[in-house]
Structures are given as C-alpha cells and as structure tokens.
Amino acid sequence: MAYTPHTDPDRAAMLAAIGVAGIDDLFDDVPPAVRAAAWDLPAPMVEQEVRAELRRLANRNRIPDVSFLGYGAYRHLVPSVVSEVVGRAEFSTAYTPYQPEVSQGTLQSIYEFQSLICELTGMEVATASHYDGATATAEAALMACRLTRRERVAVSNAVHPEVRRVLATYCSGPGIEVVEVPADLAAGGTGQTDPAAAAAVLDDSFACLIAQQPNAFGVLEPMAELGQAAHAAGAQLVAVVEPTSLAVLEPPGSYGADIVTAEGQPLGIPMSFGGPWVGLMAARMGAVRQMPGRLVGATRDAAGRKGYVLTLQAREQHIRREKAASNICTNQALCALAATAYLTAVGPAGLREVAELSMAQARHAAGALRRAGLAERRFTAPYVAEVAVTVPDAERRHAVLAAEGVVAGAPLWRDYPELTDTLLLAATELTSDTDIERLVAALEASR
C-alpha cells in the first residue's frame, strides 16, 4: 500500500463506524466458490527500488545515435515549455470536464486545440481528439458511412499500413467492406495513387475514398483529383495528413477534403514506443452531428461571462447508448494540450521552419546518397520530408547499421513486398548534417 494514508487507528475507527469487525466482512458478498486464490506477485518496492527497476528497463533500450526512421512516428523537438505545460498537475490529474465551472482550464484548452486544428487544416470543425491517427481515420470512415448511408470504403494502399490495419479491424465490426486502390509502386513509378485507378474502383456504393498526403512513402498525392474522383461517385474524401507539413502544404480544406484526420504525435509529443499519441479529426459543420468523440463549445453563464462546455453530447454513448455515433468515451486531452502548447510555442514561423528544415535535410540525405552512389530514389513524384530510396542488399545493411546505432529508415519491403531493397528515410529539424554524414559513411562501409 505504497500510497494510502491510513494508519491502523484510522482503519479501526472506520471499521467501528461501519459496524463491522474486520475488513473481510466487507467482502462477504464475494461468493465463496469464486474468491481469489492466493496470487504470485512480486514484493513491494520503495521509490529508489522502483527507480532502479524502471531505469534498468529504460537502459535496456538502445536509443540509436542516428536515426532516419519515421514512417508514422517522428523525432521532433519537444520544446521545454510544452513539457512544462503538460506536466502541470492541474491539467494532468483532472478528468473529463463534467463540471464545467471547475474545468475551464481543460475546456478552454480544448477549444483552443479545436480552433488550431481547424486553422491548420482549413476545416470548420475539429473534435477534441482521438486515440491516435489510425483510429481517427477508422472513425472517419464509419462517419462517412453514416453520412452517405453507404457501406463500402475505398482506401489507397499508399495510406500507412498501420492506418489500414486499424481501418480493417474497425470496419469488420459493422461489416463494412474495405477496397484498396493500388498506388503506382512499379520501378520508375510515381509512388502516387492514380486518380483514374481510384475512379475505376469508386461507384455509388462507396462512402469515401481515403488518401494520405504526403502518402506512406513521403510522396505528394494528387489530392484535388482524388477528391474529384470521390465526389463524382457521391463519396467523401477523407484526407490523412501530417500536421507539420501543413505549414507548407495547402490545407485539405482547399482541395475539397470532407473529413481530415492526422496523427498528432509530431506536435510536441514524444514517440514513447508508440504512445500515448493523439488523433486529429476535422470536418465541415454540416457533418458535425455525425462526428464521433467530444466537442467543446463556447457559451456564457447567467452573468454573461464567457465559458466553455462539452456540447452536442446527444451524439455520444453516455446519452445515446446503442444509437451513439461511436463508443468513444475519452479523448486524449493531455496530448491535445501538448499539441496546443506546441503550436503556440512554435507559431506560424516556427512551424514553417520545422517543415522547411525537415524537407531540406531529406533532400540533403537523398542527394548525398545519390552522389555517393549508395542509393537511388525509388519514386519519381515529389516528396516532402521522407524519401524512399533503393539500396542494394538493403536488408543486410539495414541490420548491420542498426547494430552500430544507425537506423537507416524503415524497411518498406516488410509491408510492401514489391518494394524490395527500399528504405524510407525520414528527416526532421533534428536531423543534423553530421547525422547525414554518418549515414553515408555507414552505408559506404557496409557495401
């Protein structure tokens, strides 16, 4: 009982007040046949022992000296002020703002988050956040099905495989069919999703087309044309985006996206072996009543003071129960707060600096590898901050480099068998010139 305040006299006083002889009397209602057998759990630890154990495990991880691994999780600077804000116990140890009068901090920060996500994406309404980008995308597909009253979903296979896996699981629930639109993965191909291929798949049975910008290979998709293909079939365009890239890329609201989703991890959230992260979702106001998850709205009290509340709750499970838009209950409020503080800390200029430096270093790496004769770009279409390159004997060399503390990107053949010897290299603002020199030297040495 590491954290309980009760002394034995406290316990005795409470038992006496209750009128029972001992604590076991309060568990009489557990039927004898199913009372717990003795368990085999470790002994308690004091703080210094807990620290030692957790440090042991943290040290068992080997954080690479140099890493070009992105592919859905990105090593960005988490500004000190962001960690400070997220670390405030008034935010972290509060819960869902059920009592708005004493939750204005959380509520206003979510309203600011929703505003920032709308601004970034060019959309009209954003939710208070989701578990991660993949579940947000799966929920967007279900939302599109509700909006169109259709039961098929088309997804480009250049959408990140993790997103497609989660999408498949979610759609299996209500029996929604998922059809993949093949991207051009041929040698010398663009790496893009061909709008004609999308149009060939889509018909009036499809609720939406899901495409990612930039796509899983870092390549820019023809989103406007993909949106036209979707809309021609009466389907919606679900755009999966990367938030820092929106400093330089046109917002999805201007190329006709109906629903936008994203993994918000790049916005000031550590990678932490996959979570907690935060899913973003934005849409048009006309669709708001079919949106899943929490929404915060502005209103006033009787004295006219502005305040914020959870709103449009009749969509949600605690009221609508089996007719709810989703079973989602919590959001990822603290991670959404991190994103809010991050976007505030970097501002428009900083976000642009992050995006531009990431793009410049991706080009730096690709150019240096090409000139050294070590790698060739796999796809012809322009990319943003991740670049797919072909490296002879890549599987062996990737392992050799990893053992030296250099992670040479993501091995794409594991998810896309046709992309043999293809590595996806990611750069961020933390990618230094010496990182790139080290990658070139290590690949050279592994020939």
Contacts to another protein from residues 4-43, by CB under 8 A: 4-6, 10-11, 13-15, 17-20, 23, 25-31, 33-37, 39-43
180 in contact with another protein (CB under 8 A) = no
Cα separation, 263 vs 71, whole angstroms: 11
CB 3, min distance to another protein, A = 5
Contact 171, 199 (CB under 8 A): no
Residue 75 or residue 421: which is nearer to another protein going by CB?
75
CB 402, min distance to another protein, A = 5
Q: From the list 141, 155, 296, 389, which residue makes contact with another protein (rule: CB under 8 A)? A: 296
Residue 200 or residue 406: which is nearer to another protein going by CB?
406
Distances (CA, A) of 228 to 46, 63, 353: 62, 44, 32
140 burial class (0-12, 13-18, 19+ CB within 10 angstroms)?
buried
Per the rule left: phi > 0, alpha: psi between -120 and 50, beta: everything else, 242 is beta
Contact 278, 129 (CB under 8 A): yes
Q: 3-class DSSP state for residue 258?
A: coil
CB 209, min distance to another protein, A = 18
Residue 203 or residue 355: which is nearer to another protein going by CB?
355
Q: Residue 93, Cβ neighbours under 10 Å: how many?
A: 8
Give the pairing type, strands 410-411 and 206-213: unpaired
Cα separation, 240 vs 230, whole angstroms: 15
Contact 120, 251 (CB under 8 A): yes
Residues 143-162 close enough to bind another protein by CB under 8 A: 160, 162
Residues 56-115 close enough to bind another protein by CB under 8 A: 56-64, 67, 69, 71-73, 75, 77, 79, 81, 83-85, 87-106, 108-109, 111-112, 114-115
441 in contact with another protein (CB under 8 A) = no
Residue 124 or residue 203: which is nearer to another protein going by CB?
124
Q: From the list 146, 157, 168, 205, which residue makes contact with another protein (rule: CB under 8 A)? A: 168
Residues 314-353 close enough to bind another protein by CB under 8 A: 314, 316-324, 326-335, 337, 340-341, 343-353
CB 182, min distance to another protein, A = 21
Residues 410-429 close enough to bind another protein by CB under 8 A: 410, 429
Residues 359-378 close enough to bind another protein by CB under 8 A: 359-361, 363-364, 366-368, 370-371, 377
Distances (CA, A) of 295 to 96, 106, 220, 277: 12, 12, 31, 18
Residue 170 or residue 217: which is nearer to another protein going by CB?
170
Residue 114 or residue 154: which is nearer to another protein going by CB?
114
Which residues fall within 8 angstroms of residue 91, CB to CB, at 6 or more apart? Answer: 85, 105, 106, 109, 333, 334, 337
Cα separation, 275 vs 334, whole angstroms: 12
Residue 329 or residue 441: which is nearer to another protein going by CB?
329
Residue 232 or residue 400: which is nearer to another protein going by CB?
400
Which residues fall within 8 angstroms of residue 266, CB to CB, at 6 or more apart? Answer: 74, 76, 242, 243, 244, 428
Q: Residue 372, Cβ neighbours under 10 Å: how many?
A: 12
Pick the stretch among 144-152, 198-206, 226-234, 292-300 that binds another protein (CB under 8 A): 292-300
2 in contact with another protein (CB under 8 A) = yes
Residue 197 or residue 248: which is nearer to another protein going by CB?
248
Q: What is the DSSP letter of 43?
A: P
389 in contact with another protein (CB under 8 A) = no
Q: 3-class DSSP state for residue 32?
A: helix
Q: From the list 55, 392, 418, 445, which residue makes contact with another protein (rule: CB under 8 A)? A: 55
Binding flags for another protein, 115-144, as an x/- string (CB under 8 A): xx-xxx---xxx-xx-xxxxx------x--
Residue 109 or residue 206: which is nearer to another protein going by CB?
109
CB 207, min distance to another protein, A = 16
Cα separation, 278 vs 198, whole angstroms: 29
Residues 195-254 close enough to bind another protein by CB under 8 A: 220, 246-251
Cα separation, 262 vs 129, whole angstroms: 10
Tell me the CA end-to-end span of the chain in Å, nearest whole number. Answer: 57
Helix (H) or strand (E) holding 58: helix 47-60
CB 279, min distance to another protein, A = 9
CB 288, min distance to another protein, A = 7
270 in contact with another protein (CB under 8 A) = yes
Cα separation, 436 vs 359, whole angstroms: 13
Residue 45 or residue 200: which is nearer to another protein going by CB?
45
Residue 209 or residue 295: which is nearer to another protein going by CB?
295
Cα separation, 261 vs 243, whole angstroms: 9
